[in-house]
């Protein structure tokens, strides 16, 4: 069995020299090449995804505003639990950002705490959302009940 050693490795050069990662003691910067192109591709993909989601919600919001003017638009019951859910999702954004900040400062214990707390808040949000939908169903409000309920379920789903 013959094994081959790759001729080029982006981290360990063939000529035995070492790369200067620079940074004066800060995080090392990998040499440019295939890895940095992959990172750039992922950033572009994320930007396209975020643009798509923004356009989707923008389009749905526009349709909602236009549809509200129709004569068959009836207001629906909104569970007060939705206010709590809004607070939970906003708090989870704060804790996620705090975990990112802790990771940036290499505070792994703090990072783990905030990531776990964010996960618990996410689960609490999903449970609260299901409970809100159950409250709507108890009031006889379902997806096809009215245009308002259809938009509500679509936007919160």
Cβ–Cβ < 8 Å for 154, 60: yes
**pLDDT tens string 117-148:** 999 999 999 999 999 999 999 999 999 988 88
Cα–Cα distance for residue pair 107/111, rounded to 1 Å = 6
Sign, CA torsion 112/116/122/125? negative
| Cβ partners under 8 Å of residue 85, min gap 6 | 125, 128, 129, 132
Quick: pLDDT tens for 59-113.
Answer: 999 999 999 988 888 888 899 999 999 999 999 999 999 999 999 999 999 999 9
Instruction: State yes or no: pLDDT of 18 exceeds 80.
Output: no
């Amino acid at each position: 069995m013959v094994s081959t050693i790759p001729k080029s490795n982006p981290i360990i050069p063939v000529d035995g020299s070492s790369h200067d990662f620079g940074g004066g003691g800060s995080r090392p910067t990998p040499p440019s090449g295939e890895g940095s192109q992959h990172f750039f591709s992922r950033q572009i993909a994320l930007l396209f995804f975020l643009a798509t989601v923004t356009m989707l919600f923008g389009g749905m919001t526009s349709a909602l505003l236009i549809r509200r003017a129709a004569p068959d638009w009836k207001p629906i019951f909104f569970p007060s639990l939705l206010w709590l859910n809004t607070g939970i999702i906003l708090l989870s954004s704060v804790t996620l950002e705090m975990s990112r900040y802790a990771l940036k400062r290499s505070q792994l214990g703090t990072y783990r705490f905030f990531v776990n707390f964010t996960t618990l808040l996410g689960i609490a949000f999903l449970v609260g959302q299901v409970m809100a939908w159950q409250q709507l169903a108890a009031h006889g409000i379902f997806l096809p009940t009215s245009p308002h309920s259809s938009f509500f379920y679509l936007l919160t789903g």
